[in-house]
Structure formats: C-alpha cells, structure tokens
Chains A and B, each alone.
Chain A
Amino acid sequence: MRPIGRALSFALLAAGLLSASAKAADPKPFRVGVCYDLSKAYTFATPQVSQAALDLAALVNMKGGIGGTQVEVIVRDHGNEPQRGVECYSKLSRDGVFVFDTLSTPVSLAILPRALKDKRILMQSLVGRGDAVDGTVFSWIYPVGPTYWGQAANDIAYIKKLHGGNLSDVKVGFVYFDYPFGQEPIEILKTLSEKEGFELILYPVPLPGSDQASAWSKVRRDKPDHIISWMLGGAHVVASKEMKRNGIPVEKYISVNWLNEVDISNIGADAAKGIKRGTNVVGGQDIPLYKEIVAELYQKGQGSGPVEKTRDVFYNTGLAMYSIVFEAARQAVSLHGHPITAETYKAGLEAIMNFDANGLMAPITVTASDHGGGGRTRIEMWDGATWVPQTDWIAAYQDVVWKVVKQSSSKFDGK
C-alpha cells in the first residue's frame, strides 16, 4: 500500500508541477514582488501575511485570474537588511515586476527613492514613512491602510466616545518602544491633548521590550484611565504581566494593530479578556473571503501553509493587503485593458472606491492625493474567544492628521 501511496503522491506532485509550468507558460502573469523579512525581526507577522498572499493568489487564479491573466506572488527573504531588500527589488524589477511590498520599515525606506525614480509601485501598508500617504509628493508609494498617526487619532476618538465626548479630566497613558516606530504617534497625541484637554503621560520602554518594570510602576502611580500601547510581539505579553503585577485591569490596554492571537495565547486567552486593539481589518474567522479560502483551498489540501496559521489577525491583515493589490489590478484591466503596466496599475489603484473586500476590512477609497485610502480603523476587543468590534470604522481628526502629514511630506526632497 505504502509504495502505491508514495507513487500516487509523486504522480500528484508531477501533475502539480506540470500544471504549474503550464500556468507559467501563460502570457505574462501579473506578478507581485513580495520581498519580506522571513528570517529576522519581522517574523512575528511575515509568515502569516505571505501565506495570505499566496492563498489569495491561488484563489484568484482558481477563479480564472484577473480578466484571464494569472497572478503570481513571488516571495523572497531580505532578512530586514536594506542592502538585500534593494537587491531583491532590483532583481525582480529587472524581471519586469512593478508592484512591490516589503513589510519592513528599514527596507521600505531604502527602496522608496528607487521606486520613485524607476516609477514602480511600492505598496507599504503599515510600514515605512507615514507621510507617504500624501500622493502629491510620493506619487508611486501607496501605504494603503491607516498611518500610525491616524490610528492613534482614532484611538483618542474612541476614548472620547467612552467618556461621552468630554476628555477634559481624562488621563491617557502612552506606552511605546523608545524608537521611531513607537515615537511616531507622540506628536499627534500631544496636539490632540491640547485640543481636547486630556492629560497625556508618556512611558517609553527600551527595545526589545522585555524589561518594562519601571514604566508600569510609573503607570500605577499616575493611574491613567486608558493606556495606548505602541509595541510589538512579546512586548505585549510582558506588558500584560506587568499590568497584572501592578493591579492595572487589562481592559485599559489599547494596542496598536500589531497584537495577534499568538500574543493573546501567550498572555492566556482568559487573562487577555478585555484587551483592545486598533485595527483596519476585521478580526476572527467570520469573514466571507476567509471562509471561501478555507473551503476552496485548505479543505482540499491546497493551502500554502498550515491551516492553524490562518486563524490569526495578521493573516486577515495579509488578505486585506493583497485584496487591495489584486483589486487594483482588476480596476486597471477594466479601465485600460491588458496588459497591466505600472501606469495603468497606478490608475487602477486610484480608481479603488469604497472597497472593503466583502466585509474584510475598513472601506477604502484611494485617490491621487490620498494614497492611504481614508485611514479608517476601529477598536476591537478580545472576548476570550474572538474579536468583538467596539466602534464603527472611523477616521477621526483628519484635519490634524493631514496637517502633520503635509508638514512632514513638505520636507521631503524627492530629487
């Protein structure tokens, strides 16, 4: 029986290969360059996101591709090194790829000047410089999704709603990695604190966030009503331990979008009950697109990774990112037909209107001036088993956010 099974699986493999090569023989598939850090600092999210990208591409191809064109996702590792990111970018762009994503701030920064010069699309959802949402300056850069500034502003809007619209005697603590990623929202929080009258207290945490004792004893002393956290991965677990030690209820904790089920299970699914996160994608598995992928791919054994990894908000984040990538290609084809070029793809991106990938994420509208798509997020709460939305999709304080964006982008000298 065994040899037969083995022979069968070989035959299947060969068939798969043949079909793969047949697909490759199709005239010019639409290709996306996914240069990710799969081996160093960003591994808390990249496996799930790239798995989502591969699954989504498989699903799109299964349904006949984009107007008949197959899609291909090329995943390469750059180990979070700018030099290797540039190498990945140059190599793929020589092969004719014109849509890239890096999911790494240092690499995104290193590729940005080249993408602007070479006229390639750089998708940089959730990473890289936030002022790139200003399409008038960064014409080829598309950080579709919320900026950290917008996300922080939306968190404040949520807190304002909780307090009935008056923040004058509210204390908001901000716990952050003492590093550009964590420092980014400070400016906007300070502006909003002046505007709304709440008291803002800053608690810097040194990288990598394994030692937060001093920050949290200060939190205990100051007793802020809410704590906004700008940290990643294991640092959330350390924070929750420190909160417990200092008798601070976990409900006060509002995380940046980088908090997932892995962190929750490390904290303990019950202990994490009430923890909140800002997000631009729907958490949990009750999503039409997710169900379709599980039914079409994973139940037929064709998923591009273990199914457990898909039960993760970062997987949903990946689905959202690549839904946008493929939707833009669809728009490009419907506007300008085949073949898709960098220019028509750019037009396709800017034709995206109120797109939410069938209830997967906050609806986005990309325009020539707003490459962020509106920057809507919402707050979700962990109820012990899944994520429960606490607000609608909101994009608050857009005037303040855009003022900071313009201020920053005006200093960029693209020449």
Chain B
Amino acid sequence: MFYRLSGVHHNSYVSESRLYRIPADRNLALFFLALGLVAPLLVGSLYLNSYLLPWLVWTAAALGLNLVTGWAGQLHLGYAAVMAVGAYSAVHAAKFGIPWEFALLIGGISASVVGSLFAFAALRVKGLYLALTTLAMQFVMDWVLTHSPAISGGSHASLQAPTFALLGQPITSDIGLYYIAFSWCLLVTVFMLNLRRTGLGRALVAVREKDYAAAILGVNSFYYKIVAFATSSFIGGVSGAVLVATFFFLAAPEQFSVTVSIQVLAMVIVGGLGSTIGTFFGVALILLAPGVVNGIVAKGAIALGLQLNVETLAHIPTATYGALIIIILMVEPLGLGKLYGNIRDYLMVWPFDQLKR
C-alpha cells in the first residue's frame, strides 16, 4: 500500500545491482536530498549551524568508522585520533598558505597514512586485542597533541583555523558553511551506499564474516583490512578537517580525545553496524539527544513549576539519554538502522503480509 509492491523480485542482474531496489526508497532518498538542499530556507541559522551542520559532519565521520567497523568488522577505538591527524594537518597546511581544497586533501591523506601505518602494526592481532591497539593509537595521539606546542598551537593548545575558502572565495556565511558540510556528507554517503555494489564492498564483508574463509575464496584479508583502515582514515581525516573549518573554527586536543572516539563508536553501534541510514540516526541520537533532552527537561521543569536544583537538572537528561541507548539496543541489537528496516519491511507489502516479501 505504502510501497505499492508485491515484493522485491529481480529478473535481470542490472535490476539486482541497482542502488535502490525499491522505487519508494529512491524517492525517499531524493526527497531528503532536496530537503537538505533547501534546508537553509526552511530553518533558522540556529538549527542550521548548531544542529544540522555538526550532525552532517559527524555523520560523514561516523560513516568512515562504519566502513572499518561495520563493513570490515575491525573494532576501532582510536578514530578521533585519526580525525585529529586530518584536522591538524589540514589547518597547518591552510595556515601555511595552501588553498583549503588541497589542505583538506592533505588532511585526508596524512590521516590515511598514519591510520594505515598503525593498521600495519595493529592488524597482526584481532578482535579485542586490535581494539586495545587502536586505543593505544588514541593515547599516543593525545600525548603528541598535549606535548608538542608546535602542532597544537602554543601553550594553550588551541590552533586557530584560517577562514575557509573555496576557489579563493572566503566562505563565512552560515549558509555557505552548511553547504560545505552538506556536500562532504553527501559525497561520503554516496560512496558508502555504492560500496555494496563493488568488489571492494563484497571483499570487506567476506573479511568481516570470517577472514580465513575469505582467504580461501582468494580474498587477501590483510590487504583488504589495510584498505579499509586507509579509506576510513581518509574519510575521518577530512571530516575532522571539515569539522574544524566549518564548526569549531579552531582545533583543540579535547575535540579529539578518547571520549570522542568512544562517542563515534557509540554512534555507529547505536545506528547499526554496516548501515548507512542507521548511521544518520545514530549520530542524531548520540550527538543531538543530550542537548534536546536537556532543553525539554529544563522547559518541563519550568512548566511543571518544579524548583529543581541545577545539578539535578543536568543529570536527568544524562540519565534519560543513557536509558534511551539501552532501550534501543535491547529492542533492536542491530541498531536504529535495523529498526527502520523492520518498519519498512513490515510496511512493504502491508496489508498483504501473506505475500512473499
């Protein structure tokens, strides 16, 4: 009824390998694309720049982590470190006078190099050991940032980013910055959506499911793990640089600390491993829910006339937020993406559930 389908049936390989197998999905994606494009006309600069923009940039970053954790199955606890490498090298490059287009690229490449160098050492171990090794990378990066004023920007450890510019045009307006974030997120999303249709994507999934089974199939698992680390580090590095250039306007070590690594991982897990749309949901929940719940609780307390202590007011949202994560993962361990998928699958042929899906 909603999808006007009797099920998903393929009668050619082309139809099977299409990006969207269901027209309604494609239309929905196009609708959100259009919504993203006209968002500056629809919402005020507050929502545009303090909610939408960070949401898009963090989604791009989390998609990068999803590539290595969700697709290739390698637990990564040092993703913020990779973002830091990208951010700091891009800002330094831009300060040096290199145009931002190339600075972003330099950020991505240097993050990619550092990320895959680390992966060379880290990939000798698997599972929890790998997680711990990547955590070590995070601590190494934290240490480097807090101990090298030349990198972190003086004794306050805050490095001012030059004004963002494209093709020599400085971009300072809220709308301009939003479109930068939007385009980057769009680029990464399109890449991730298409990953399923490529040999690389299939190889990564094979490695995730069982790496020596993949090796028997002729997939060099070590090579693909490195590729996964390098690609995800590139995405992370550029996202870190975009975050600094469009949102923070300066880089500081706390923006890329170990808690941030854990947060990005939480975004991916709550969103759903290997799910692109889930990552959007996951980032929205982890990044925006605390502030939104905070606002609701503060307003609610005023409306109900509760004279709550400021500390209590601060802790209720944190508890709510924690409970929300637990509930979501209990209801659907595969994350918000799967939750959405369940609803979609249910509605696909509704009300004729007896038909084949």
Contacts and interface: CB of A to CB of B under 8 A. Distances in A.
Interface stretch (A107-115, A231-239, A243-251, A269-277): A107-115
Contacts of B291: 84, 87-88
A308 B160 CA distance: 42
A153 B314 CA distance: 37
Q: Which interface residue of B51, B146, B154, B156 has the most chain A CB atoms within 10 A?
A: B156
A106 B49 contact: no
Interface residues of B, number: 43
Contact of A75 (B95, B252, B305, B310): B310
B315 interface: yes
B313 A77 contact: yes
A411 B157 CA distance: 12
A227 to B, nearest CB: 21
Contacts of A113: 160, 248-250
Contacts of B154: 408, 411
A112 B50 CA distance: 15
A152 to B, nearest CB: 12
B252 A110 contact: yes
Contacts of A305: 309-310
A39 B318 CA distance: 8
Interface in A292-347: 304-305
Nearest to B247: A86
B46 interface: yes
Interface stretch (A57-65, A177-185, A371-379): A177-185
A178 B146 contact: yes
Contacts of B309: 304-305
A187 interface: yes
A221 interface: no
A82 B156 contact: no
Nearest to B51: A87
Contact of B162 (A79, A109, A128, A413): A413
Contact of A39 (B49, B158, B287, B314): B314
A109 B154 CA distance: 13
Interface string A37-65: 01100010001001100100000000000
A91 interface: yes
A406 interface: no
Given A79-B290, A408-B154, A183 B146 contact: yes
B164 to A, nearest CB: 11
B156 A91 contact: no
B132 interface: no
A412 interface: yes
A407 B252 CA distance: 19
Contact of A179 (B50, B146, B305): B146
A252 interface: no
B317 interface: yes
Given A82-B255, A91-B50, A114-B249, A184 B305 contact: no
B12 interface: no
Contacts of B49: 90
A415 interface: yes
A120 B156 CA distance: 22
A11 interface: no
A129 B54 CA distance: 24
B354 interface: no
B93 to A, nearest CB: 15
B298 interface: yes
Nearest to A183: B155
B307 interface: yes
Contacts of A38: 310-311, 313-315
B294 interface: yes
Interface in A63-111: 75-77, 79-84, 86-88, 90-91, 94, 105-106, 109-110
Contact of A13 (B287, B305, B310): B305
B194 interface: no
Contacts of A105: 254
Nearest to A82: B255
Nearest to B162: A413
A287 B115 CA distance: 57
A130 interface: yes
A184 B156 contact: yes
Contacts of A94: 44, 46
A129 B294 contact: no
Contact of B155 (A76, A82, A110, A408): A408
B36 to A, nearest CB: 20
A77 B250 CA distance: 22
A388 to B, nearest CB: 31
Interface string B31-46: 0000000000000101
A380 interface: no
A106 B95 CA distance: 22
Given A82-B254, A408-B156, 9 more contacts: A39-B311, A47-B311, A77-B313, A86-B248, A109-B252, A129-B156, A129-B158, A179-B146, A187-B155
15 contacts: A38-B311, A43-B311, A75-B310, A76-B294, A81-B290, A83-B247, A83-B287, A84-B291, A87-B50, A180-B152, A180-B155, A180-B157, A305-B310, A408-B154, A408-B155
Instruction: Give 3 closest A-B pairs by Cβ, nearest first.
Output: A77-B314, A38-B314, A106-B254
